[in-house]
Amino acid sequence: MIDATGRPERVLLLGGTSEIGLAIVARLLEGRPGEVVLTGRDAHGLARAAGLLASSGHDVTTHVLDATKVADHGPVLDDVLADPVDVVVLAVGQLGDQASMLDDPVAAARLLEVNLVGAGSLAIRIAGRLRSQGYGHLIVLSSVAAERPRSSNHIYGASKAGLDALSRGLSEDLHGSGAGATVLRPGFVHTRMTAGLSPAPFATTPEAVAQIAAEAVRTRRAVAYAPGVLRWVMLVLRLLPRPLFRRLPA
């Protein structure tokens, strides 16, 4: 169950090697041993992540699951969800290289398949499950890139925009069901995925994002930014006239 202070005891991380996802799991279960289920494509990466969580006293199991093989999701998740799950973190996603994807539309389609088609199908499946449980919380990792396309990353942005819209819709559907969903929109986060990129303003860390995610579970917030100030920054950026927006540094 999720206690009154928003503390869960059984957490499922989809995208089980995601640094942000793992930081959220660690934060949610901080100070009390819990149960963790990790799913992902990379068995070795999952095993490594599981080892780390187990060393903090958590009971961890892993399942290999490819987000793009949507027909496989049912059997694997039916097994995982035989027992109620308190919080599900959906951290399936890739950044991709914008420049090469523009020259390789097939690679762009693959990114959309992972970030939007695969993750979206998982989100729908999980929301349905939480609804029938009568409680539980889904955290979907979106991005501030979902809010306004920029030439530097609009393929990634489009995939996240689709997932973001879908998840907000699911969050509305869940209203009154006892369960809830949070769309989490981090800005630039220092992780393996962004290594080598020059950090954008308001860059943050997985741990800081995790803190905001945990607070969103307690307050059942529908949309959260990390850091929080990005809510206002993005509000301004959305309203900025195009000629000005174009001039912003990439």
What 8-state DSSP symbol labels residue 227?
A: S
Q: How far is the CB of 7 from another protein (least distance, A)?
A: 6
* Residue 176 sits in the site that holds another protein (CB under 8 A): yes
17 close to 44: Cβ distance less than 8 angstroms:
no
Among positions 201, 219, 232, 235, the unique one binding another protein when judged by CB under 8 A: 219
Alpha carbon distances (Å) from 48 to 55, 60, 147, 208 = 11, 11, 34, 22
Q: Which residues pair with 11 in a beta bridge?
A: 36, 87
* Residue 100 sits in the site that holds another protein (CB under 8 A): no
- Angle CA(221)–CA(222)–CA(223) in degrees, nearest 5? 100
Q: How far is the CB of 130 from another protein (least distance, A)?
A: 10
Which residues carry out catalysis? 156
**Phi, psi (degrees; rounded to nearest 5) at 151:** -65, -20
Closer residue to another protein (CB): 74 or 134: 134
Copy the structure tokens of residue 128.
């349905």
Spatial distance between the Cα atoms of 209 and 56, rounded to a whole number of angstroms: 20
What 8-state DSSP symbol labels residue 114?
A: I
Residues 124-143 that bind another protein (CB under 8 A): 132-135
* Residue 172 sits in the site that holds another protein (CB under 8 A): no
Looking at 5-13, 18-26, 51-59, 98-106, which segment touches another protein (CB under 8 A)?
Answer: 5-13
Q: With left for phi above 0 and alpha for psi between -120 and 50, is residue 137 left, alpha or beta?
A: beta
Looking at 70-78, 101-109, 176-184, 196-204, which segment touches another protein (CB under 8 A)?
Answer: 176-184
CA dihedral 114, 216, 36, 1 (to 10 degrees): -130
* Residue 57 sits in the site that holds another protein (CB under 8 A): no
Copy the structure tokens of residue 168.
């907000």
Site size with another protein, rule: CB under 8 A:
22
Closer residue to another protein (CB): 66 or 215: 215
88 close to 138: Cβ distance less than 8 angstroms:
yes
Among positions 61, 68, 94, 177, the unique one binding another protein when judged by CB under 8 A: 177
* Residue 4 sits in the site that holds another protein (CB under 8 A): yes
Q: How far is the CB of 179 from another protein (least distance, A)?
A: 8
Q: How far is the CB of 134 from another protein (least distance, A)?
A: 4
Interface contacts to another protein, rule CB under 8 A:
1-7, 9, 31-32, 84, 132-135, 176-179, 215, 218-219
